[in-house]
Structure 1
Amino acid sequence: MKILFLTAEPPWPLDQGDKLRNYHLLKALAAEHEVTLATFCPPGEESGSWRGAVASFCRAVYPVPLGRHQMLLNVLLLPHLPVTMAARASFRMVKLLLHLTEEEHFDLAFACQLKMAWYLRHCATRRRVADLTDMVSLFRRRMLRFAPSWPAKVFGTMEEYRLALWEKRVAQLADLVLMVSPVDVAKLARMAHGRRITVLPNGVDLDYFQLLPDLGKHVLLFWGHLRYPPNADGIIWFCRRIFPTVREALPEAELLVVGKESPPEVETLARLPGVKLVGYVPDLRPYLAQASVAVVPLRFGTGIRNKILEAFAAGRAVVSTSLGCEGLDIEPGKHLEVANDPQAFATAVVDLLRSPARRAYLAANGRKLAEQVYNWDAIGRRLRTLVVDLCNSE
């Protein structure tokens, strides 16, 4: 089967959630089908290292350069579109897709996230799949509660409306919509009645994230793209409202914060006792090895948190808010601890740091769940079954 795969940026390096998912889905499809990748990339990076990372399993790779200044201009010129979609408006991409689908006769067009899914209307293929991943409009709605000012609330409300409108349109355009969480599937199904929408969760590379020994240190770990609002808000909330209570009980406790592009308000956290802002690292595993507990103090967002799956795979006990672990097939108290207010979160962290046996119990159950449900090999097989069944249906 011939598949045209669309991404908003090269799916490499694997340093943020969208890239991670796009890379593994692309690789899974390429294992049994002929896949062509069309992607945006920064000007001058058309032949960057990312291309070599995907060229080995793609039939062809077509990069379309798109710079930050053009993206900003697009947003200003196209106010009727959601920001992420407007930023990636490109006549060059439209022209490329029209040409490829006319010349190559693809069986399937597969678009990753809403910011690329609207390009499916320019793909003359037998079937169209939109991997929306999560409901961005729901993300915006939840984020409104934490908006710092009324202009931010007004903009957020307008953006939520625009996103929901286009999510519905894409669902009607696509023959199949994929999302990572049952919560998001249910939400979109209410908006787009009768459309084929199903769950395809995120996964974790079990060969890369292998079980690590628990060194028993009073070290906590948080990681993620720190410019991403839920991560920035979550780690600020944890450091200001939760970690001081942990330090009262365990004065030697340390927190490692790993991630790229930290905004100024996150940078200031490095001044707090016991907090170490590590920044970007090419390999998370040495920091997982140091930590005894992973914390996921997220207060808004949607979809599935890759950081929880990575912690499970590495055998690390996790404390999360209920929203932080939303969408995962987990049982609180068996796979991880769940707490939503600062005192309960701090108590759960302290109890785990003091109990090696409890950490080992959660770690064993988390790893087993990752192996059985959230490994990329199984998710890849599920994806291939879905697209073959779709193309074989009338």
Structure 2
Amino acid sequence: MEDLLLLVHRMPYPPNKGDKIRSWHLLKHLAQRYRVHLATFVDDPDDWQHVPTVQAVCASAHFAALSPRAARLRSLGAVLRNRSLSFDYYRDAGLQGWVNQAVQQHGINRIVVFSSPMAQYADAWPQARRVIDFVDVDSDKWRQYAERKPWPASAVFGYEASRLLRYERQVAASFDASLFVSAPEAELFRTLAPESAARIGWFSNGVDTAYFAPADCASPYAPGDKALVFCGAMDYWPNVDAVQWFASDVLPPLRARDPALRFVIVGARPSAEVQALAAQPGITVTGTVPDVRPYVAHAALSVAPLRVARGIQNKVLEAMAMAKAVLVTPQALEGIDAGIGRELLLADGAQQWLVAVSEALAGPPAALETLGQAARARVIAAYSWDARLAPLDRMIETPAAQDAGAAPALWTPA
């Protein structure tokens, strides 16, 4: 096997947390074909227990401790240098030293980067075949934050949007291939970085359909509860915004008609705003749970009321894989190829959500079961990880000279 360097911004484990799902399967896929040397950060103390699991997949690995509070303070220095806050947030001399030594010691000439701030660690090795998985257009996420947040937060987010986009364009121009999580994300970045359009592609997330499957498990809900469940990291602002909006604009009129309805928010590290929602009638905030699957399996409906979103929502695919009826916003649907009304439900705005939830729960249970079964069949057919990751191998191996005339669709899964 040949050697390959993989740079990931957060330790890719456990594989049930947001972007760690994608990075973990990426690591496992690469480890079947290369001797992988992994450099990554650990920003959650609970993740140190998983180091042996990750090390077992790698030829070598370096785990750099990252304190989010210290990193935020350090990132402020980026303003003096007119560069992205994210760049300085993930800047670490020790990690750079380990990368330099690994590349030289093992003669590494293939580098895969996961998330744009990690590209800085590959700057010294332009002769290598370098592929970056941006996942999402993060700069556009910051732009959306700026539009929704009051000053001074809007000014900070606007600054980061412009500086990060500048850096993303620099990375895409110097790397051999730039990948995203969906066709819309890739197309958006082509419009923002037209100079790199011929080297921009995508591969969507997959789902572990053996793990996320219909299961016979005990219900975590009280008898008689009709749970509308939302799963996600609850310190992530788009998730916080989603549940706050649902709790204020959608849930009260629903509960006025049916007091048995309960909005259940499942996810680690709930922010103060999310914790405060638990004081409202009909809302449960669980915090960290050992397994999200019982909450999804026994819910009346899985909901994804996201108003700001980038890329593919794993939470939606996982609920579909469990044969659960899912109701989403257009933002949460982005990048997911599924039949509206046949494999999932769609609503935009509070009034449509009121109607959609009411009609879904008032109809015959068999209708939701049929929709859920169709959803699982769709995920099995189109979103297995092996199928999703297959195009990556050719991107890593293809000489850059052969890419120049390639159509962007060349890098999309069949």
SS of the equivalent of 1:16 reads coil
Mean CA deviation greater in 283-292 or 213-222: 213-222
Quote the Cα distance in structure 2 between the aligned partners of 1:44 and 1:144: 30
Letter paired with 1:387: I
Quote the Cα distance in structure 2 between the aligned partners of 1:377 and 1:192: 30
- The structural deviation recorded for 1:292 is 2.1
Quote the Cα distance in structure 1 between the aligned partners of 2:278 and 2:57: 42
Quote the Cα distance in structure 1 between the aligned partners of 2:213 and 2:118: 33
Aligned to 1:35: 36
SS of the equivalent of 1:316 reads coil
SS of the equivalent of 1:343 reads helix
Cα pair 1:109 1:128 within 8 Å, conserved: yes
Aligned to 1:277: 285
Structure 1 residue 102 and structure 2 residue 124: aligned?
Answer: no
Cα pair 1:201 1:379 within 8 Å, conserved: yes
- The structural deviation recorded for 1:124 is 5.4
- The structural deviation recorded for 1:81 is 2.7
Cα pair 2:203 2:389 within 8 Å, conserved: no
CA displacement, residues 325-371 of structure 1 (integer Å, 9 cap, x when unaligned): 11111232222111111121121112112231321232122111211
Shift of the 384–339 alpha-carbon distance from structure 1 to 2, 3 Å rule, reads same
Cα pair 1:181 1:199 within 8 Å, conserved: yes
SS of the equivalent of 2:333 reads coil
Letter paired with 2:303: V
- The structural deviation recorded for 1:85 is 1.9
SS of the equivalent of 1:309 reads helix
383, 392, 395: which is aligned to 1:374?
Answer: 383
- What value does the CA root-mean-square deviation take over the aligned residues? 2.3
Aligned to 1:143: 145
- The structural deviation recorded for 1:158 is 1.2
Quote the Cα distance in structure 2 between the aligned partners of 1:2 and 1:125: 15
Letter paired with 1:203: G
Shift of the 303–119 alpha-carbon distance from structure 1 to 2, 3 Å rule, reads same
Quote the Cα distance in structure 2 between the aligned partners of 1:138 and 1:72: 20
Structure 1 residue 182 and structure 2 residue 186: aligned?
Answer: no
Letter paired with 2:89: A
Quote the Cα distance in structure 1 between the aligned partners of 2:194 and 2:167: 11
Mean CA deviation greater in 83-92 or 225-234: 83-92
Matches within 5 A, 1:337-376: 337-355=345-363, 356-376=365-385
Cα pair 2:7 2:38 within 8 Å, conserved: yes
Shift of the 144–68 alpha-carbon distance from structure 1 to 2, 3 Å rule, reads closer
262, 267, 277: which is aligned to 1:254?
Answer: 262
Runs of 4+ in structure 1 off by over 6 angstroms are: 43-46, 213-217
Quote the Cα distance in structure 2 between the aligned partners of 1:76 and 1:217: 47
Matches within 5 A, 1:106-145: 106-123=108-125, 126-145=128-147
Mean CA deviation greater in 227-236 or 108-117: 108-117
Quote the Cα distance in structure 1 between the aligned partners of 2:392 and 2:282: 43
Mean CA deviation greater in 108-117 or 246-255: 246-255
Quote the Cα distance in structure 2 between the aligned partners of 1:167 and 1:373: 29
Quote the Cα distance in structure 2 between the aligned partners of 1:143 and 1:334: 33
- The structural deviation recorded for 1:42 is 5.2
222, 237, 240: which is aligned to 1:232?
Answer: 240
Structure 1 residue 4 and structure 2 residue 5: aligned?
Answer: yes
Letter paired with 2:359: D
SS of the equivalent of 1:145 reads helix
Quote the Cα distance in structure 1 between the aligned partners of 2:367 and 2:147: 35
Structure 1 residue 305 and structure 2 residue 313: aligned?
Answer: yes
Structure 1 residue 62 and structure 2 residue 62: aligned?
Answer: yes
Count of aligned pairs between the two proteins: 392
CA displacement, residues 47-104 of structure 1 (integer Å, 9 cap, x when unaligned): x322211122211112233334542342122222322221111222222222221221
Structure 1 residue 265 and structure 2 residue 268: aligned?
Answer: no
Cα pair 1:246 1:347 within 8 Å, conserved: no
Aligned to 1:208: 211
Cα pair 1:112 1:132 within 8 Å, conserved: yes
Cα pair 2:114 2:132 within 8 Å, conserved: yes
Quote the Cα distance in structure 2 between the aligned partners of 1:43 and 1:146: 28
Shift of the 57–331 alpha-carbon distance from structure 1 to 2, 3 Å rule, reads same
266, 278, 303: which is aligned to 1:295?
Answer: 303
Structure 1 residue 326 and structure 2 residue 334: aligned?
Answer: yes
Aligned to 2:410: none
SS of the equivalent of 2:187 reads helix
Quote the Cα distance in structure 2 between the aligned partners of 1:244 and 1:77: 44
Cα pair 1:250 1:350 within 8 Å, conserved: no
- The structural deviation recorded for 1:106 is 1.5
Cα pair 1:28 1:384 within 8 Å, conserved: no
Quote the Cα distance in structure 2 between the aligned partners of 1:334 and 1:2: 45
Shift of the 150–68 alpha-carbon distance from structure 1 to 2, 3 Å rule, reads closer
CA displacement, residues 201-260 of structure 1 (integer Å, 9 cap, x when unaligned): 111111110124799962210010111111000000001110112212322112211011
Quote the Cα distance in structure 2 between the aligned partners of 1:45 and 1:275: 27
Shift of the 43–245 alpha-carbon distance from structure 1 to 2, 3 Å rule, reads closer
Mean CA deviation greater in 379-388 or 132-141: 379-388
Mean CA deviation greater in 62-71 or 107-116: 62-71
Please, what TM-score do these two structures have when normalized by structure 1?
0.93
Cα pair 2:140 2:161 within 8 Å, conserved: yes
Quote the Cα distance in structure 2 between the aligned partners of 1:337 and 1:45: 36
Letter paired with 1:210: A
Gaps of 5+ in 2: 404-414
